[in-house]
Amino acid sequence: MDPSGFEILQTAILLLDESGRIRFANAAAEALLGVSRRQLHGQAAAPYLADQTSFLKTPLSSPPWAWLLEIPVHQGGRYEDRLQALADQAAQRETLRNLAHEVRNPLAGLRAAAQLLDMELTRDDLHDYTRVIIEEADRLADLVTRLVSPQRQDFEPIQFNIHEICERVLALIELEFGQQLTVIRDYDASAPDIWADRDRLLQALLNVVRNAAQALTEAEAVQAPTLQLRTRILHQPVLLQGQHRLGLLLGVMDNGPGVPVALQDKVFHPLVTGRAQGSGLGLNLAQACLQQHGGVLEFDSQPGLTEFRFLLPLDRP
């Protein structure tokens, strides 16, 4: 294994030998730990991990390296930011729910009036106009329903393997997009079953994966469009409800054009989208789903590499 590829990652990477000593550190690890790789080389990794809220540990069979440690830089010092973001998003959703209730009645009246008008028209060409009114009213009614209904559904956690829904989502994506993109699976087979609302988590994952597939297939400049799902165990992650003994990372990665810079600070806000045909609800509802599970949905994006990360506790609710 050539470790030079780790230099381009924002994630801090440490390669350890059998005794747990550091044999390689990338530039992100130097920056995070505040120690040069020359000083890190040969040192026991344990003392440097004591202050880290979470890290991923993957066994290797590539002597002299026995373990790969990933310390997600994005998780450091973000707990307060997450809580603030949670409060902001909850306030936005409440405002939109109130607005949706106000829109429902006049929207129903508009549709009914269009239907009555359609019955009175004698010219066939005029029916096209009333049909547009009715169809658009139905589309807006569906949008209103999606804004209101998710919060009313009962939360029903069951125990299942996360890779079951990964495979279900990929099967749907492969049916929809066919040979337009390459799918890579990078699963941690040691990941234990998770307690979660299976249907809701499946829909959240489908929203994110479909967004990635659409970005890949709609961007003409993307060479060899590739979509990757990866799972990893998180040790001592700090999520919305504090620190947990174990957590799960489910990453959705693609080599598309990335999230536009102008949208990155508000990509999880409702009704925000970079696509002409998008509703702007997919990521917002996915984030709400993760929050209901005590987890978080985060992302890093730049042209050529975007990753959305589902961070979930493995504790039983």
pLDDT at 152 over 50: no
Whether residues 138 and 281 share a domain: the answer is: no
Helical ranges in 10-123 per DSSP H:
27-33, 37-40, 46-49, 79-120
Mean pLDDT in residue range 154-176: 91
Residue 258 lies in a domain: yes
Mean pLDDT in residue range 42-51: 86
Residue 303 lies in a domain: yes
Mean pLDDT in residue range 6-25: 87
What the block records as the tokens of 57 is: 């540990």
Judged by DSSP in three states, 1 sits in coil
Q: Give the per-residue pLDDT at 43.
A: 93
How much is the mean pLDDT over the chain? 82
Q: Does residue 28 contact residue 21 with C-beta atoms inside 8 Å?
A: no
Q: Compute the Cα dihedral for 251, 252, 257, 260 and give only its sign.
A: negative
Chain centroid to Cα 304, Å, comes to 17
Whether residues 24 and 141 share a domain: the answer is: no
β partners of residue 68: 15, 58
pLDDT at 174 over 50: yes
**Structural domain total, the chain:** 3
Whether residues 208 and 245 share a domain: the answer is: yes
Residue among 281, 298, 291, 237 nearest 86 (CA)? 291
Which range has the top average pLDDT, 63-77, 111-125, 135-149? 111-125
Residue 38 lies in a domain: yes
CA distances from 99 to 106, 125, 152, 180 (A): 12, 35, 16, 39
Listed range (51-55, 106-110, 181-185, 248-252) with the worst mean pLDDT: 51-55
Question: pLDDT (tens digit, 9 = 90+) per residue, 58-96?
Answer: 888 888 889 999 886 554 445 555 555 666 666 666 666
Whether residues 189 and 290 share a domain: the answer is: yes
pLDDT at 253 over 50: yes
Residue among 134, 218, 209, 202 nearest 175 (CA)? 209
Residue 81 lies in a domain: no
Whether residues 68 and 105 share a domain: the answer is: no
Distance CA 50, CA 26 (A): 19
Q: Does residue 75 contact residue 25 with C-beta atoms inside 8 Å?
A: no
Residue among 231, 237, 197, 229 nearest 82 (CA)? 237
pTM score: 0.62
Residue 80 lies in a domain: no
Distance CA 200, CA 15 (A): 37
Instruction: Point out the domain boundary residue: 137, 152, 167.
Output: 152
Question: pLDDT (tens digit, 9 = 90+) per residue, 273-312?
Answer: 655 555 567 788 888 889 889 898 998 888 889 999 999 9
Residue 202 lies in a domain: yes
Percent of the chain with pLDDT over 70: 82
pLDDT at 161 over 90: yes
Whether residues 221 and 305 share a domain: the answer is: yes
Whether residues 110 and 205 share a domain: the answer is: no
Q: Which domain holds residue 121?
A: 86-152
Instruction: Point out the domain boundary residue: 152, 178, 200.
Output: 152
Instruction: Point out the domain boundary residue: 102, 117, 152.
Output: 152
Whether residues 303 and 169 share a domain: the answer is: yes
Listed range (89-98, 103-112, 139-148, 170-179) with the worst mean pLDDT: 89-98
Whether residues 171 and 301 share a domain: the answer is: yes
What b-and-e string marks burial along 230-268, b requiring 16 or more CB atoms within 10 Å of the CB?
bbbbbbebbbbeeebeebbbbbbbbbbbbbeeeeeeebb
Name the helix (H) or strand (E) containing 172.
Answer: helix 162-177
Question: pLDDT (tens digit, 9 = 90+) per residue, 207-216?
Answer: 999 999 998 9
Whether residues 124 and 250 share a domain: the answer is: no
Residue 48 neighbours by CB under 8 Å, 6+ apart: 14, 22, 33, 35, 40
Q: Give the per-residue pLDDT at 77.
A: 45
Q: Does residue 236 contact residue 53 with C-beta atoms inside 8 Å?
A: yes
Mean pLDDT in residue range 19-30: 89
Residue 12 pLDDT class (50, 70, 90 cuts) = confident
